[in-house]
């Protein structure tokens, strides 16, 4: 297990040569129908009629000639059953669809500890696992057992995180930004969960921000509407500001659960559910 120091904050960009240019993929592994009322916090405040919304579930691949990074992992087969959330593909099938060999993954980044982001980590049984120390320590604390938090996580998944620490496979980041690899940074934004992270990747076409649940839907930052699962609303609004700022600087923002990802990025990478972002 390692930690970060202030030195991490000084390493902005990698020396990416042509062979180390990153490819970024989004893999859609599940999809379900919900409503705006169930998605946005206090939706009645907007005085709009309710409307159906599709919620897609993704994880992401960042890779080049030197390394493969998997960002989040989908949810476990057990959670799919107990929560009645059927999947389009299991984590293993989704990795296969993106032509990722689990044994060849160098790093697994867990953006936060919700069940739909960490439940598939057991499929990836080698390589470094990275999450923010704030996030890990929160979910190991008694507060995480309170109902409003506990229902968003699976005890078995949290036990698995504990095991990753015991096995010395987990890196808990203490600084933000934290450099994951040349040209790949983790930013801790908080809000949705105490240590919610996003991943920023330098690509040939500019920076790509994998926002995960710092922005489930583009509407959150475009219309300033918090999602209904929120640990710290002030931090969530600040995260919206940071994402909007990155967007204004030219970064490509990738929402965590928005079906618009499937249309904003129309190119596929060898499979209908594997979206080429860059």
Binding residues for Zn ion, rule: CB under 5 A, are: 114, 213
C-beta of 16 vs 26, nearer to Zn ion: 26
Q: Based on CB atoms, which residue is closest to Zn ion, 114 or 169?
A: 114
What is the torsion angle, in degrees rounded to the nearest 10, for the CA atoms of residue 27, residue 32, residue 35 and residue 38? -80
Nearest approach, Cβ of residue 29 and Zn ion (Å): 15
Considering beta carbons, is residue 114 or 225 the nearer one to Zn ion?
Answer: 114
The least CB distance from residue 218 to Zn ion, in Å, is 16
Write down the least CB distance from residue 189 to Zn ion, Å: 12
Residue 114 Cβ, how far from Zn ion at the closest point, in Å? 4
Of 213 and 273, the one with the shorter C-beta distance to Zn ion is 213
Cβ closest to Zn ion, residue 8 vs residue 213: 213
Give yes or no for a contact between 20 and 64, defined as CB atoms under 8 angstroms apart.
Answer: yes
| 213 or 258: CB nearest Zn ion | 213
* CB 216 to Zn ion: min, Å: 7
The closest of 60, 200, 196 to 136, measured between CA atoms, is: 196
Min CB(115)–Zn ion separation in Å: 9
Nearer to Zn ion, 35 or 228 (CB): 228
Q: How far is the CB of 89 from Zn ion (least distance, A)?
A: 20
Phi, psi of 103 (to 5 degrees): -70, -15
Q: Largest Cα–Cα distance of the chain, in whole Å? A: 52
């Amino acid at each position: 297990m390692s930690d970060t120091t202030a030195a991490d904050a000084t390493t902005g960009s990698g020396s990416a040569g042509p062979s180390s240019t990153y490819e970024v993929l989004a893999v859609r592994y599940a999809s379900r129908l919900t409503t705006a009322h169930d998605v946005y916090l206090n939706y009645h405040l907007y005085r709009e009629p309710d409307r159906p919304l599709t919620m897609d579930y993704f994880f992401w691949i960042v890779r080049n000639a030197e390394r493969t990074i998997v960002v989040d992992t989908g949810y476990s087969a057990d959670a799919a059953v107990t929560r009645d959330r059927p999947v389009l593909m299991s984590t293993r099938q989704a990795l296969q669809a993106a032509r990722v060999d689990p044994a060849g993954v160098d790093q697994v980044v867990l953006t936060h500890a919700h069940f739909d982001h960490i439940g598939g980590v057991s499929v990836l049984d080698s390589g470094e696992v990275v999450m923010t120390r704030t996030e890990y320590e929160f979910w190991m604390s008694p507060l995480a057992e309170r109902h409003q938090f506990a229902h968003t996580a699976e005890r078995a998944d949290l036990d698995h995180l504990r095991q990753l620490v015991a096995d010395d496979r987990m890196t808990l980041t203490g600084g933000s930004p934290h450099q994951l690899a040349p040209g790949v940074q983790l930013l801790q934004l908080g809000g949705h969960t105490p240590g919610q992270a996003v991943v920023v990747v330098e690509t040939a076409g500019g920076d790509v921000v994998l926002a995960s649940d710092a922005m489930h839907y583009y509407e959150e930052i475009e219309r300033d509407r918090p999602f209904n699962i929120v640990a710290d609303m002030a931090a969530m609004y600040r995260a919206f500001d940071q994402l909007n700022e990155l967007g204004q600087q030219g970064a490509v923002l990738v929402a965590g659960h928005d079906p618009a990802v499937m249309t904003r990025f129309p190119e596929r990478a060898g499979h209908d559910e594997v979206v080429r972002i860059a």
